[in-house]
Amino acid sequence: MSVSHVNDAEFETKVLNAEGPVLVDFWAEWCGPCKQIAPALEELSAEYGDKLSIIKVNIDENPEAPTSYGVRSIPTMMIFQDGQAAATKVGAAPKSQIKDWIDETL
């Protein structure tokens, strides 16, 4: 699977009602650290395949979801399971740390 982009209107369907865990990356076009982790998220999406969906939400274009979940700085990554935020990681990190965080959560 590849990383997909979701807007506020799709958030409930694609994230909260998703079957299986979903990692949401709250990001913005102007955010350097967000761009820094993007290749790692693409690679992790391929590695996890159907076990984990990875979705990006542009906070400038879609303010509702980040506001609902208290996103104050970006990048903020959240793992949702069964419609609930199960874990949050704020800031850029190397791929290995993101993978460890995902594995601990799942």
Both structure tokens of 18: 């998703």
The two counts, helices (H) then strands (E), for the chain are 4, 5
Instruction: Specify the 3-state DSSP secondary structure of 44.
Output: helix
Catalytic annotation, pick one of 15, 22, 34, 102: 34
Residue 34 appears among annotated catalytic residues:
yes
What is the helix (H) or strand (E) element at residue 37, kind and residue range?
Answer: helix 32-48
Q: β-strands 22-27, 4-5: how paired?
A: unpaired
Q: Alpha-carbon dihedral of residues 45, 34, 69, 102, nearest 10 degrees? A: 40
Catalytic annotation, pick one of 31, 59, 77, 78: 31
Catalytic positions are 31, 34
